Amino acid sequence: MIVLLNGSFGVGKTTVAKILRAYLPGSAIYNPEWVGSVLMRAPSWIKLKKTGENDFQHIELWRKSTITGIRLYHRFVPGTIIVPMTFTYHDYFNEVITGIKSFEKEIRVFCLKASLETIKIRLIQRGTHIEGAGSEWIAQRIIECSNTYLDDYFGESIDTEYCSEEDVALDIVSRLH
């Protein structure tokens, strides 16, 4: 089984993924953000489409590598593969979901949600600057995510507003069983 955790930056996807791993025997986390970070830092002489947009979901190679990475984990991980990611575009989301379904039919997608104010507080608490010079990108993205995730298209909705990460993980475990 593949469990995708979609949601805004700062909503708690990675923390919830780590807690879920403890509750799901044999599971592993595949975080496609690592590959995205590398691709965003690729030298300018490597021509990757859409790298100048500061969001690796636009990079076709990132989307393909996400599918390939999950497929590789799928071959070697005996349990559930947990994937924290942020998608805000239907086409890109569909591309990755369709790619995963080509090798694994059992896939669950959860969209972790919280208010924009709560997201800002959580980001500040983890040391992320959301105001001032150099923070324009994150400020824009959390607004985009908050607006996008009003639509239930991006996964089963889980309200994290007044919940601990442990509570969110337990909610997901109960929904999986």
pLDDT by residue (tens digit) across 6-50?
A: 999 889 999 999 999 999 999 999 999 878 777 766 655 565 555
Kindly report the pTM of this predicted structure.
0.90
Residue 53: its pLDDT value, please? 54
Residue that is written with structure tokens 């690592």 in the block: 34
Is the per-residue pLDDT at 72 higher than 80?
yes
pLDDT of residue 76: 96
Place of tokens 């990108």: 137
pLDDT of residue 47: 59
Q: Is 2 helix (H, G, I), strand (E, B) or coil?
A: strand
3-state secondary structure of 55: coil
- Predicted pLDDT of residue 54: 66
Render pLDDT for 122-161 as a digit per residue (tens, 0 to 9).
Answer: 888 888 877 877 778 788 888 888 888 888 899 999 999 9
| Class at the top of the CATH hierarchy for domain 2-172 | alpha beta
Long-range contacts from 100-104, C-beta under 8 angstroms, 24+ separation = 100/2, 100/67, 100/70, 100/71, 103/71, 103/74, 104/1, 104/2, 104/70, 104/74
Cβ atoms within 10 Å of 112's Cβ, excluding its own: 24
pLDDT digits 0-9 by tens, 159-171: 999 999 999 999 9
Residue 150 to residues 97, 98, 145, 157, 164: CA-CA distances in angstroms? Answer: 20, 23, 9, 9, 21
Domain ranges of the chain: 2-172
